Amino acid sequence: MAAGGFVRMPGGSVVVALSLPAPTGEQRVRVLVHAKNRARALTRLRNLGLRAVYLRGNAAPPTPDEITAVLHHPDGLIWRTAAPAPSGDLSVSRPPELWRPIRALLA
């Protein structure tokens, strides 16, 4: 099951964010999809081979920075390694990874 959520844009389109297991199985990845509606966003992912992708609820909607990133990408479909859960040690802070096109994840 994927944790995720969506945001409806003023023009009627949606940005869907999902946290999925990475193909390597080590970590999770955060995938963002810009589409006309939620069903089309999930269909775009399923057409790429991610068959068991569902969006139940809106527990982890995309942040404003994530929305900006996906709206400025020509494919409207990007990913990066999901941020680890916050720990008690705040001195160990990694800068966030850059967003990558979905082709880099599936290759």
Is 94 within the bounds of a domain? no
Is 107 within the bounds of a domain? no
Q: What distance in Å separates the CA atoms of residue 47 and residue 40, rounded to the nearest whole number?
A: 10
Is 42 within the bounds of a domain? yes
Half-sphere exposure of residue 52, counting CA atoms within 13 Å on the CB side? 5
Q: What is the pLDDT of residue 88?
A: 52
Is 98 within the bounds of a domain? no
Residue 57 is part of which domain span?
3-84
Render pLDDT for 25-63 as a digit per residue (tens, 0 to 9).
778 888 999 999 999 999 998 998 887 788 888 888 999
Q: What is the pLDDT of residue 17?
A: 93
Q: What is the pTM of this model?
A: 0.82
Total structural domains in the chain?
Answer: 1
